[in-house]
């Protein structure tokens, strides 16, 4: 029986009432009295020295209140990077300053050059266009492979050769090389993980507000983590202490990672508001988002897999170039390293794994986490090379995976790449996948397609991710410059209702529903008695926000622990009210009872007593019923599973049609199955986008060729097939109180390799000997691959 409330129930998303009736309140919906508007002049070229900026006409233009250029903000700190990576030789990564307005040089198309504030947005924009930029263009460094060669030119003088770091990880190289030397078979693939633009529906926006009487700043911003922005902007960029800086992230229309980071515009509107003593709003246009939101992925990888004669994996070796873009965005350095290298074991027993990553500066928009963040890149390489090995050896790709899965009885399992998986059962999710995708019926479906002249293919991919970011001590040892705990406060009101503060942020994930289910379940109260509050640094003390599928596993654990504290205190109050000792008081379904008696008192009565402490143990207990908890996980969580995709390829045009997608995930325990299903489906839609449609392309001068939706192909509803989602295989997480693992990114991680494997299966089974096509598998690319294979 599915539950109808609490943990395990598919409760309807309460926030949807607000969103579907137009009552959502996004940053751009906020208008403050006296508000002025900002426009940003951005670099039209990828790389140039700024000889001069003439702002005189702009300053004199109608309505203009303020013009700032790089020279005006030279003293302001650069945008910080939150993770220090060390190269193999022990040297720290190159970390050139990331100024909030370009100074001396512009380094990518879209690099902010000046801020103009005026009475209206049109005036600000008109005036920005009047600024004369005298730019001396420099050769642009665009292609990573060329960027590392001599004479490529330097994006930053203080990062000569454009190398940010040269990182190695896992088994010592000689050991891995020795395993390769003894291998019966080696499969090699070179592939590109295509650069993506996140494209949340709501573009970024920020409003700076300043109260001269108190010296308090307020920043409204489209952020996934307002406390992190307060910390970074306050401490590193503008030097505003936390008690004088409030950051509000109201409703946010999708983030997908790109709204984690601290952006220049946030600091600029904060500065400008103080300078003109008026609120200042900036709202990104879509075209601006394409050249200023941090982008995702962009790896070039060579991966080699060594197998013995039985098809057992012996070793894995990778060499990756990771594009950082022109500056280090907030978490850029950690994505290709600790969120990528640590996952290269996948679901397999491979004993030797060496991962090499060189991070490269280029004259392109900065690159940072995008849904999955490093883990899709790891999974894609691994699951592609396994399929290729199966093809080369004439093995069934599912059987080859099964042969190498970490068996269910080997957990906890320490991989050669530093992490320890707590639980998992990869064979079980694969079995489930084979069942729900009707793999057995595929041959018949293929025959039917062939009758219509189409090539049908079936592909699978397993995946694992490290979620629940993050155990702070471990993260700190690996170079993180912040803690990665989460906090929660649970406040029980005197006369009804419970208000729960969480430091995570909901921007599509449905936390207001899921978290309420958890607390309702624990307190035995109806869900509508629980209110979830987030997104405002003035309402809760600390929070690290939402990314890395951490919100339920880390934020939810903090909520559970705070709720437990509330229950323990309430138990003592109840014991007092019932004249029993606390050890004898049980709590179930919202009632405290003295064990073995019929004496009971309801949770609500206890709450009232806590605030009207007439009959109350004041000597031992403070009045009130409000608790806080900070939770720092002891390990990552390891969601895993298997994805399948079925496609049809038109051999005349190369067009790929996705006929079906199936996901068998192990997320541990599931609080709201409907929301989990939605998260997986959304992730798969984005994965289909990456595999089939999306690609962010610069020409050799650094101009973005895909700067509008006419050229950047976003998936549409008609591109997405029915997606079968199953999460019945559950090996609960052993180290968090809910036993949950996180589900937000899985879909985007598991789906691209499954889709590409399906297309390659269709082509090869159809007689086209194609080993590889780079994403996105556009019709033109698939057609060219077939043509080249025939030649």
Partner 1 sequence: MYSLDFVRPASLAEAVTALQAEDALPLGGGQTLIPALRQRLAMPGRVVALAALPELVGLRVEGGEIRIRGATPHARVAAEAPLPALARLAGGIGDPAVRHRGTIGGSLANNDPAACWPAAVLGLGGVVRVRGLAGPREIAADAWFRGLFDTDLRAGEIVTEVRLPLPLAAAYVRFRQPASRFALAGVFVARFAGGRVRVAVTGASASGVYRWTEAEQLLASDFSPGALAPLCVSAEGMLADVQAPADYRAHLVKVIACRAVAEAASGRTACG
Q: Does 57 bind partner 1 (CB under 8 A)?
A: no
At residue 409, the 3 state secondary structure works out as helix
Closest separation in Å from C-beta 782 to partner 1: 10
DSSP state of 532: E
How many CB atoms sit inside 10 A of residue 23's CB? 10
Nearer to partner 1, 418 or 713 (CB): 713
Closest separation in Å from C-beta 791 to partner 1: 13
Site for partner 1 in 218-247 (CB under 8 A): none
At residue 719, the 3 state secondary structure works out as helix
Which listed range, 415-423, 427-435, 502-510, 773-781, lies at the site for partner 1 (CB under 8 A)?
773-781
Is 638:422 a contact under the CB 8 Å cutoff? yes
Q: Does 173 bind partner 1 (CB under 8 A)?
A: no
Rg (CA), the chain: 27
Which listed range, 374-382, 387-395, 614-622, 771-779, lies at the site for partner 1 (CB under 8 A)?
771-779
Is 170:341 a contact under the CB 8 Å cutoff? yes
Q: What's the farthest any 2 CA atoms get from each other in the chain?
A: 90
Nearer to partner 1, 200 or 654 (CB): 654
Q: DSSP readout, 639-695?
A: -EEEEEEEEEE-TTT--EEEEEEEEEEE-BS-S-HHHHHHHHHHHHHHHHIIIII--
Which listed range, 121-129, 249-257, 345-353, 604-612, lies at the site for partner 1 (CB under 8 A)?
121-129
Nearer to partner 1, 196 or 525 (CB): 196
Sign of CA dihedral 545, 549, 554, 557: positive
- One of 57, 618, 714, 790 touching partner 1 (CB under 8 A): 714
Nearer to partner 1, 163 or 758 (CB): 758
Per the DSSP assignment, residues forming a β-bridge with 210 are: 217
Is 693:628 a contact under the CB 8 Å cutoff? no
Which listed range, 27-35, 372-380, 703-711, 742-750, lies at the site for partner 1 (CB under 8 A)?
703-711
Nearer to partner 1, 293 or 627 (CB): 293
Q: Does 710 bind partner 1 (CB under 8 A)?
A: yes
b/e burial code for range 136-145 (CB count within 10 A of at least 16 → b): eebebbbbbe
H helical segments located in 585-656: 603-611
Q: Which helix (H) or strand (E) holds 165?
A: strand 163-170
Nearer to partner 1, 121 or 630 (CB): 121
Closest separation in Å from C-beta 238 to partner 1: 32
Nearer to partner 1, 19 or 709 (CB): 709
Site for partner 1 in 671-700 (CB under 8 A): 692-693, 695, 697
- One of 60, 181, 408, 780 touching partner 1 (CB under 8 A): 780
Q: Does 778 bind partner 1 (CB under 8 A)?
A: yes
Nearer to partner 1, 471 or 654 (CB): 654
Closest separation in Å from C-beta 716 to partner 1: 8
d(CA 480, CA 465): 19
Nearer to partner 1, 285 or 308 (CB): 285
Does residue 693 have a cis peptide bond before it, meaning omega lies within 30 degrees of 0?
no
Nearer to partner 1, 171 or 194 (CB): 194
Which listed range, 231-239, 435-443, 499-507, 712-720, lies at the site for partner 1 (CB under 8 A)?
712-720
> Strands 656-666, 723-726: parallel, antiparallel or unpaired by DSSP?
parallel
Is 354:390 a contact under the CB 8 Å cutoff? no
What is the 3-class SS of 450-501, one letter each residue? HHCCCEEEEEEEEEECCECCCCHHHHHHCCECCCCCEEEEEEECCCCCEEEE
Site for partner 1 in 544-563 (CB under 8 A): none
How many residues does this entry show for the chain? 791
Nearer to partner 1, 366 or 776 (CB): 776
Tokens of 624: 């009130």
Closest separation in Å from C-beta 710 to partner 1: 4
Which listed range, 143-151, 265-273, 593-601, 772-780, lies at the site for partner 1 (CB under 8 A)?
772-780
Closest separation in Å from C-beta 573 to partner 1: 59
Nearer to partner 1, 494 or 693 (CB): 693
Site for partner 1 in 567-586 (CB under 8 A): none
Walk across the sheet containing 313-325 and list its strands. Answer: 163-170, 352-361, 313-325, 299-307, 185-193
d(CA 727, CA 642): 11
Nearer to partner 1, 99 or 689 (CB): 689
Instruction: Using CA atoms of 367, 249, 203, 216 in order, give the dihedral in degrees to the nearest 10.
Output: -90
d(CA 508, CA 745): 13
Closest separation in Å from C-beta 683 to partner 1: 21
- One of 396, 399, 568, 711 touching partner 1 (CB under 8 A): 711
Nearer to partner 1, 137 or 652 (CB): 652
Nearer to partner 1, 87 or 703 (CB): 703
Nearer to partner 1, 370 or 712 (CB): 712
- One of 709, 767, 769, 790 touching partner 1 (CB under 8 A): 709
Q: Does 784 bind partner 1 (CB under 8 A)?
A: yes
Tokens of 287: 């075209």
Walk across the sheet containing 600-602 and list its strands. Answer: 585-588, 591-594, 600-602
Left (φ > 0), alpha (ψ -120 to 50) or beta: where does 715 sit?
beta
Closest separation in Å from C-beta 696 to partner 1: 10
What are the φ and ψ backbone dihedral angles of 644, each rounded to 5 degrees?
-130, 150
Nearer to partner 1, 52 or 710 (CB): 710
Q: Does 713 bind partner 1 (CB under 8 A)?
A: yes
- One of 491, 712, 733, 745 touching partner 1 (CB under 8 A): 712
At residue 636, the 3 state secondary structure works out as coil
Q: Does 706 bind partner 1 (CB under 8 A)?
A: yes
Closest separation in Å from C-beta 780 to partner 1: 4
Q: Which residues contact 63 (CB under 8 A, 6 or more apart)?
A: 118, 119, 120, 123, 124, 127
Q: Which residues contact 149 (CB under 8 A, 6 or more apart)?
A: none
Q: Does 790 bind partner 1 (CB under 8 A)?
A: no
b/e burial code for range 381-407 (CB count within 10 A of at least 16 → b): bbbbbbbbbbbeeebebbebbebbbbe
Closest separation in Å from C-beta 284 to partner 1: 13
- One of 32, 186, 211, 287 touching partner 1 (CB under 8 A): 287
Closest separation in Å from C-beta 694 to partner 1: 9
Binding map of partner 1 across residues 634-673, x = CB under 8 A, - = no contact: ------------------xxxx------------------
- Side-chain-side CA neighbours of residue 708 (13 Å): 1
Per the DSSP assignment, residues forming a β-bridge with 533 are: 501
Which listed range, 29-37, 591-599, 701-709, 740-748, lies at the site for partner 1 (CB under 8 A)?
701-709
Q: Does 125 bind partner 1 (CB under 8 A)?
A: yes
**With CB under 8 A, what is the number of residues at the site for partner 1?**
27
Nearer to partner 1, 290 or 338 (CB): 290
Closest separation in Å from C-beta 119 to partner 1: 14
* Residues making contact with partner 1 (CB under 8 A): 122, 125-126, 285, 287, 652-655, 692-693, 695, 697, 705-706, 709-714, 776, 778-780, 783-784
């Amino acid at each position: 029986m599915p539950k109808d409330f609490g943990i395990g129930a598919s409760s309807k998303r309460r926030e949807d009432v607000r969103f579907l009736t137009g009552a959502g309140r996004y940053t751009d919906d906020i208008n403050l009295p006296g508000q002025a508007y900002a426009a940003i002049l951005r670099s039209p070229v990828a790389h140039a020295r700024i000889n001069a900026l003439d702002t005189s006409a702009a300053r004199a233009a109608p309505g203009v209140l303020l013009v700032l250029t790089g020279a005006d903000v030279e003293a302001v700190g650069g945008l910080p990077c939150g993770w220090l990576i060390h190269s193999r030789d022990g040297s720290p990564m190159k970390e050139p300053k990331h100024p909030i307005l370009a100074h001396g040089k512009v380094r990518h198309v879209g690099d902010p050059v000046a801020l103009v504030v005026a009475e209206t947005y049109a005036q600000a924009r008109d005036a920005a266009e009047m600024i004369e930029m005298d730019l001396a263009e420099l050769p642009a460094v665009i292609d990573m492979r060329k960027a590392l060669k001599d004479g490529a030119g330097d994006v930053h003088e203080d990062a000569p050769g454009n190398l940010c770091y040269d990182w190695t990880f896992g088994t010592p190289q000689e050991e891995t090389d020795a395993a390769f030397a003894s291998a019966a078979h080696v499969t090699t693939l070179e592939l590109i993980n295509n650069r993506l633009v996140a494209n949340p529906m709501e573009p970024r926006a920020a409003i700076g507000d300043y109260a001269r009487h108190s010296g308090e700043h307020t920043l409204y911003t489209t952020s996934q983590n307002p406390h992190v922005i307060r910390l970074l902007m306050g401490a590193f960029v503008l030097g505003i202490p936390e008690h004088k800086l409030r950051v509000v992230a109201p409703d946010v229309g999708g983030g997908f990672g790109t709204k984690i980071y601290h952006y220049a515009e946030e600091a600029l509107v904060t500065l400008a508001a103080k300078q003109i003593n008026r609120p200042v709003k900036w709202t990104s246009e879509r075209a601006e988002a394409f050249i200023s939101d941090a982008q995702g992925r962009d790896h070039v990888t060579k991966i080699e897999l060594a197998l013995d004669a039985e098809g057992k994996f012996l070793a894995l070796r990778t060499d990756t170039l990771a594009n950082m873009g022109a500056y280090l965005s907030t978490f850029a350095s950690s994505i290709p390293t600790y969120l990528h290298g640590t996952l290269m074991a996948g679901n397999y027993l491979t004993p030797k794994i060496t991962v090499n990553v060189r991070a490269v500066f280029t004259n392109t928009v900065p690159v940072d986490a995008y849904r999955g963040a490093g883990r899709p890149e790891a999974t894609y390489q691994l699951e592609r090379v396994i399929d290729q090995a199966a093809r080369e050896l004439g093995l069934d790709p599912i059987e080859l995976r099964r042969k190498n899965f970490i068996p269910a009885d080997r957990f906890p399992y320490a991989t050669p790449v530093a992490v320890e998986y707590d639980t998992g059962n990869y064979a079980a999710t694969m079995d489930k996948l084979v069942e729900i995708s009707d793999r057995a019926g595929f041959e018949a479906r293929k025959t039917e397609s062939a009758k219509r002249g189409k090539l049908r293919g079936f592909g699978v991919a397993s995946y694992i991710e490290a979620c629940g970011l993050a155990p702070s001590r471990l993260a700190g040892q690996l170079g993180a410059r912040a803690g990665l705990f989460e906090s929660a406060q649970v406040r029980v009101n005197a006369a009804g209702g419970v208000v729960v503060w969480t430091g995570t942020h909901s921007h599509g994930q449905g936390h207001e529903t899921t978290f309420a289910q958890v607390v309702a379940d624990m307190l035995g109260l109806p869900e509508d008695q629980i209110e979830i509050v987030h997104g405002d640094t003035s309402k809760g003390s600390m929070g690290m926000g939402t990314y890395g599928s951490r919100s339920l596993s880390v934020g939810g654990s903090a909520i559970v622990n705070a709720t437990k504290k509330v229950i323990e205190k309430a138990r003592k109050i109840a014991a007092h009210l019932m004249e029993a000792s606390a050890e004898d008081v049980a709590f179930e379904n919202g009632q405290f009872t003295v064990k073995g008696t019929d004496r009971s008192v309801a949770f609500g009565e206890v709450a009232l007593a806590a605030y009207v402490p007439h009959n109350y143990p004041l000597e031992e207990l403070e009045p009130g019923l409000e608790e806080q908890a900070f939770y720092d996980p002891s390990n990552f969580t390891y969601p895993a599973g298997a994805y399948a995709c079925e496609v049809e390829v038109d051999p005349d045009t190369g067009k790929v049609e996705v006929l079906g997608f199936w996901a068998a995930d192990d997320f541990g325990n599931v609080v709201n199955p409907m929301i989990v299903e939605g998260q997986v489906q959304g992730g798969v839609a984005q994965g289909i986008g990456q595999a089939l449609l999306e690609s962010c392309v610069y020409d050799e001068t650094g101009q973005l060729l895909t700067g509008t939706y006419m050229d950047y192909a976003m998936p549409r509803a008609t591109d997405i097939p029915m997606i079968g989602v199953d999460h019945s295989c559950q090996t609960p997480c052993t180290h968090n109180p809910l036993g949950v693992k996180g589900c937000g990114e899985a879909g985007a991680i598991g789906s691209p390799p499954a889709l590409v494997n399906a297309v390659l299966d269709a082509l090869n089974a159809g007689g086209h000997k194609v080993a590889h096509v780079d994403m996105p598998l556009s019709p033109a690319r698939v057609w060219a691959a077939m043509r080249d294979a025939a030649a």
